[in-house]
Amino acid sequence: MSSGLVFEEFLALSTGRLLPRLAFGTGTQWFRTKDGSSSRESAQVKLSGALHAALDAGFRHIDEAEMYGTEELTGEALEAWMTKHPHVKREDLFITSKIWRGLPNVRKTVETTLRNLRTPYVDLYLVHAPFIKQNDIDADLRTAWKELEALKEEGLIKDIGVSNFHVVHLKELLSFCKHAPVVNQIECHPHLLQPDLMAFCQEQNIVVSSYAPLASFGQRHEPTLALVQEIAAKHNLTPGQVLLQWNLAQGTAVITTSSKLDHIKESAGVLSGATITQEDVDAITKTAGEHRHRIFWQESFAALNL
């Protein structure tokens, strides 16, 4: 039997900066209810509790986005936690956010993000998706990217990148950019492994960051779930830890989230202790590959036959 895999805590970006491989996500589940209503007080209590638990467990990378509607809540929670932990400085944290509806006015959107997050800079700022015109956003990638490059040079953004870009989108961006994207944050899980995209990112020295790493739980593909359970039992891991480690084995950074303390602690521990083997990774990939499925941006990618 082969030995368990070893996972590094950081990935080197093309600019030389280090990206913490595990990020805690602050997406829409924290703010919007299904009917579109929200309770700010309730959301703040839940998000603050989860963020504080994540930071207590060792997470130092926080993943945000304009689209999530939680930047202000996250800023309040981070400030409160750092007040209680004065030995942790801003430079000890890595904060990622993303721009979407604000693309027509990049500078104003970034300034709002910084104000909401209560930080003088963000470590990584991403264009949330390439499907700008398809979503009736009055902006274009070339102009928006030039503005992001200017903000990077001013120091308000340390690094810039993209999200949900496929090869065709990356090639377009690389054809005119001054500062290349350092990260491409994509949906990645055993039911959606995109080898062509992963290979292209590697060739271009673009780090891949995975979101929705636990999507297999929602797919209810019984052969995959049974295999994950079997592997988890073999290594004394939880199924969630197995799926996170499968993503890490692809060489990516991984974004996960939870409101449950035990799950947060489990996620924070996947870089150390027991780990799955390459044989486990290959078995999951093969089994889940029988049920390929994309969860996010389905129509946009379908239009590209992707």
- Which residues have C-beta within 8 Å of that of residue 175, sequence separation ≥ 6? none
Cα–Cα distance, 6 to 3 (Å, whole number): 9
Tell me the C-alpha distance between 87 and 268, whole Å.
Answer: 20
H helix runs in the chain, sequence order: 40-57, 71-84, 106-117, 141-154, 167-174, 195-203, 216-219, 222-235, 239-248, 261-268, 278-288, 298-302
**Torsion angle defined by CA atoms of residues 81, 83, 88 and 94, in that order, rounded to the nearest 10 degrees:** 50
Residue 68 is a catalytic residue: yes
d(CA 126, CA 146): 13
Q: Return the amino acid letter for 303.
A: A
Confirm or deny that 128 is annotated as ligand binding: yes
Instruction: Tell me the three state secondary structure of residue 184.
Output: strand
Q: Which of 68, 121, 125, 211 is catalytic?
A: 68
* Dihedral sign computed on CA atoms, order 55, 60, 66, 71: positive
Q: Which two tokens stand for residue 33?
A: 């209810």
- Residues annotated as catalytic are 68
Annotated binding residues, as ranges? 128
What residue numbers does the annotated binding site for substrate cover? 128
